[in-house]
Structure 1
Amino acid sequence: MSCPICSKDTVEKFRPFCSKRCADIDLGRWMTGAYALPSEDPVDDEELMEELEKTLGEIAANGKNDGGSKPH
């Protein structure tokens, strides 16, 4: 197996990386947003609020109680 950062052979202690340096580079990329997972979440705040209101309306219409409290 080779290091995903520099392609050198991995070292068991830092697996799947070859060194602490490459592991830290990878961590830094995650923390700065260089790596990102695709999402279908609304980007715009107004779109987010519309989706939330729609979902809450559907929950209310179906009589679901997902709020964590027990119905009386």
Structure 2
Amino acid sequence: MSNSARPDRCPICGKPPAAPHAPFCGQGCRDRDLLAWLGESYRIPARETGEDGLDSPPRPPL
């Protein structure tokens, strides 16, 4: 990973990152990020699946 790919600020609070906790500024922000993952605060939007379990476009109402 090149230096240009690394964030120049902590993604939680915006302070400069600390090397032992990169990309975070410290253990506190690192722990807050982990708790957000464990508490399911970060989510990826998903499409609903049909009754057969396959992705299909929604049917128009009759």
Query: What is the TM-score normalised by the length of structure 2?
Result: 0.65
Q: Does structure 1 residue 31 correspond to structure 2 residue 38? A: yes
Q: How far apart in 1 are the matches of 2:24 and 2:32?
A: 10
Shift of 1:41: 3.9
Q: How far apart in 2 are the matches of 1:14 and 1:41?
A: 37
Q: Does structure 1 residue 18 correspond to structure 2 residue 25? A: yes
* Matched residue count: 48
Radius of gyration: which is bigger? 1
Q: Does structure 1 residue 40 correspond to structure 2 residue 47? A: yes
Q: How far apart in 2 are the matches of 1:15 and 1:51?
A: 44
**Gaps in structure 1 of 5+ consecutive residues:** 56-72
RMSD across aligned C-alpha pairs, in angstroms? Answer: 1.9
Shift of 1:36: 0.6
Higher RCO structure, 1 or 2 (CA under 8 Å, sep 6+): 2
Report runs of 4+ in structure 1 exceeding 2 Å deviation: none
Shift of 1:33: 1.2
Shift of 1:12: 1.1
Identity of aligned residues (%): 33
Query: What is the TM-score normalised by the length of structure 1?
Result: 0.57
